[in-house]
Amino acid sequence: MPRNVEIKAHIDDVETLAATAAALADQGPFEIAQDDTFFRCDSGRLKLRVIANGGGELIYYQRASAPGPKESFYLISPTSAPDALRELLAAAYGEVGRVRKRRILFLVGRTRVHIDNVERWGIFLNSRLCWTTQSRRTRALVRRVNSWRNWMSDPINRSKRLTLICSHGDAPDIRLDRPRAATSVNAGVSR
């Protein structure tokens, strides 16, 4: 099953974060409108993601409900009929929630950096380092990222988060330096 290390954090300064992400990114920004519907699932989490182009993805994942960096296992199946699938899943399992957001996506090596403007919740950084194999270097990365759990929750270090979680390669070097100077980028996300 594919996996990633995921970090989520509420953010206040969208402009600075977007500029830092743009300076680090290989690709992006890409703006994506998403509508996620969650269904009852005893063995993990199940959501149907509808994307603005009319397509969708059924996503099953397992992830701890704890603060800080966490490992996530997931499976994704595309669908061309998301509305019919939502109706079927709601009847079979029961709908437990819905989240609509505008996502700004940056790709930094194998890391996906999202700036999510979530209806009724606010703006969040969501970063995922993706991999498909469980190598010794990957296990070392998970231990290293988890060792910074307290540092990540410290609001004083908010400006350093992106540099910590973004890098190239299988086991990125986690740096504690300041992000590089960047030119201003309009992320398209309102405060």
**pTM of this structure:** 0.71
DSSP state string for 10-24: E-S-HHHHHHHHHHH
> What pLDDT does 103 receive?
96
Measured CA distances, 148 to 6, 133, 170 (Å): 13, 23, 18
> What pLDDT does 143 receive?
56
Closest among 175, 174, 179 to 137, alpha carbons compared: 174
> What pLDDT does 132 receive?
59
> What pLDDT does 28 receive?
96
> What pLDDT does 54 receive?
87
> What pLDDT does 154 receive?
44
In the predicted model, residues of the chain with pLDDT beneath 70 are 131-191
> What pLDDT does 134 receive?
55
Instruction: Go through the domains of the chain in sequence order and give each one's CATH number.
Output: 3-165 (2.40.320.10)
> What pLDDT does 14 receive?
86
> What pLDDT does 125 receive?
87
